[in-house]
């Protein structure tokens, strides 16, 4: 943590005291950025953070700051340097809220004018550094009652900040809040695949690859994946997709040597593209209907799925890799393993070396071997209540998993074979956004607030 600027007029004695206590004010924890959904390379892991194991929003214990957020949003916070970025959509209806008990149901009817905003806070103090109104108007697409109009997590490279508000457009800012460009990306209306009239809202987040912003837009019809130039928002390439609506954020498989692959999870197919051109490299018939989790990578494996099953595919394929290879004893040659018991429905799995942690929406946490697909451990998160549900993806720091429930409880689970429960903390508000970790801080977005959790001194 940088020392605060001191007023020379305060006198030499005051300056001497402040300098003498500087080591006590130094930030514990790596300041490695958390620049996108699930951090660097979407791994969901931070090291050397020294986070507290207990906190209490009522007493303030280990709550460094708490900011009320206007409107609603399930987008995660991201961090670069001392800046925290988050997006929100503010309805002109005072009673706007999320409904945790809604599933396959009619969309929310709130089509009142909204203000779509980008907020930037100071990581140390929570002070607002800047705020920008990206767009104002009636949303073009309805949302699921459990969802919001600000679901896509921003992404940054430290110079530019890219924000997606679904059908309201793609925006790029500099780090001080100046809007650099805006791009209309079309009508993004994913919903229940059996009924296109049930609009549930866009949720896939933009990702960066070299000088490109890449979007996966699976919608009711004419789905696509596209790349826009980071410099000015112009279209670099666009590839049509024929798939069910989905909400999965794509990922980049980057081998040490060879072809990078853009992996897009889908209801009918898992597809690998060339991220530079959009050319389809391979496809695998998954037939999992609506998908939400993002891909994760281990060595040469691409691991992904939805509810069930879970697939581990070998990267580097070409063409239809779901076709049977006779030399592979009746199995598709690019399928390393499948597990009909594994799946998470909503949360993205977390990989720590060869340990694959899956948390199902029904609050069942499982540990699998990423190499073989063998399940090594399983437990239900019970805590002090029952009936937990999990939408946020788990994240980890220093050997501890942080699993946030919709009911506002955060479980701390050891990254061990027994999935040892270390503790549980309660924030008292619904949590559906995936947390961020940077600078010895755990940043959790609840329904109405952004909490910054760290060791108080």
**Arithmetic mean of pLDDT over the chain:** 89
Q: What is the pTM of this model?
A: 0.90
Q: How far apart are CA 78 and CA 435, in angstroms?
A: 9
Contacts of 349 (CB under 8 A, 6+ apart): 293, 296, 303, 356, 357, 358, 359, 393
**Ramachandran region of residue 160, left (φ > 0), alpha (ψ -120 to 50) or beta?**
beta
User: Which domains, ranges and CATH numbers included, belong to the chain?
Assistant: 1-30 (no CATH), 31-453 (2.130.10.10)
Q: Is the pLDDT of residue 21 over 60?
A: no
Q: How far apart are CA 65 and CA 450, in angstroms?
A: 8
Q: How far apart are CA 374 and CA 367, in angstroms?
A: 9
What is the pLDDT confidence band of residue 221, given thresholds at 50, 70 and 90?
A: confident
Predicted pLDDT of residue 125: 97
More confident residue, 400 or 109: 400
| Over residues 254-263, mean pLDDT | 92
| Over residues 266-289, mean pLDDT | 91
CA 356 from chain center: how many Å? 17
Q: Is the pLDDT of residue 13 over 60?
A: no
| Over residues 435-452, mean pLDDT | 97
Q: Which two tokens stand for residue 433?
A: 């956004």
Top mean pLDDT of 21-35, 89-103, 272-286 is at 272-286
Please write the tens of the pLDDT for every residue from 111-160: 999 999 999 999 999 999 999 999 999 999 999 999 999 999 999 999 99
Contacts of 435 (CB under 8 A, 6+ apart): 76, 77, 392, 395, 402, 404, 442, 443, 444, 445
| Over residues 16-25, mean pLDDT | 31
Q: Which two tokens stand for residue 33?
A: 């950025």
Q: How far apart are CA 189 and CA 107, in angstroms?
A: 11
């Amino acid at each position: 943590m940088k020392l605060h600027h001191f007023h020379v007029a305060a006198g030499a004695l005051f300056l001497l005291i402040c300098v003498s206590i500087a080591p006590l004010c130094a930030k514990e924890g790596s300041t490695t950025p958390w620049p996108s959904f699930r951090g660097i390379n979407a791994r969901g892991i931070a090291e050397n953070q020294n986070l507290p194991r207990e906190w209490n929003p009522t007493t303030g214990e280990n709550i460094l700051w708490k900011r009320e957020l206007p409107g609603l949003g399930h987008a995660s916070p991201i961090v670069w340097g001392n800046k925290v970025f988050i997006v929100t959509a503010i309805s002109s209806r005072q009673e706007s809220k999320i409904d945790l008990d809604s599933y396959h149901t009619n969309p929310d009817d709130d089509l009142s004018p909204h203000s779509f905003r980008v907020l930037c806070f100071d990581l140390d103090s929570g002070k607002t550094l800047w705020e920008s109104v990206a767009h104002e108007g009636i949303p073009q697409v309805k949302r699921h009652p459990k969802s919001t109009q600000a679901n896509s997590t921003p992404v940054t490279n430290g110079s530019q900040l890219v924000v997606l508000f679904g059908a309201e457009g793609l925006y790029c800012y500099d780090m001080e809040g100046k809007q650099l460009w805006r791009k209309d990306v079309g009508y993004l209306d994913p919903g229940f695949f059996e009924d296109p009239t049930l609009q549930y809202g866009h949720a896939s987040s933009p990702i960066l690859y070299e000088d490109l912003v890449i979007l996966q837009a699976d919608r009711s019809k004419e789905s696509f994946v596209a790349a826009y130039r980071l410099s000015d928002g112009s279209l670099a390439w666009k590839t049509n997709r024929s798939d069910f609506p989905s909400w999965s954020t794509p990922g980049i498989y980057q081998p040490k040597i060879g072809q990078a692959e853009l992996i897009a999870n889908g209801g009918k197919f898992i597809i690998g593209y060339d991220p530079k051109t959009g050319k389809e490299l391979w496809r695998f018939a998954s037939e999992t209907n609506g998908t939400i989790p993002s891909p994760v990578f281990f060595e040469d494996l691409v691991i992904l799925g939805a509810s069930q099953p879970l697939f581990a595919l070998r990267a580097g394929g070409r063409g239809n890799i779901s076709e049977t290879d006779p030399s592979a004893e009746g199995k598709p040659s690019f399928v390393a393993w499948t597990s009909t018991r594994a799946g998470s429905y909503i949360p993205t799995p977390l990989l720590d070396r060869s340990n694959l942690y899956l948390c199902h929406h029904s609050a069942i946490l499982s540990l699998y071997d990423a190499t073989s697909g063998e399940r090594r451990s399983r437990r239900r998160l019970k805590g002090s209540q029952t009936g937990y549900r999990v939408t946020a993806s788990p994240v980890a720091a220093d050997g501890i998993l942080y699993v946030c429930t919709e009911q506002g409880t955060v479980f701390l689970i050891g990254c061990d074979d027994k999935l040892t429960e270390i503790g549980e903390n309660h924030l008292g508000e619904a949590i559906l956004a995936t947390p961020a970790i940077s600078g010895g801080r755990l940043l959790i977005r609840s329904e109405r607030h952004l909490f910054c959790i760290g060791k108080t001194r």
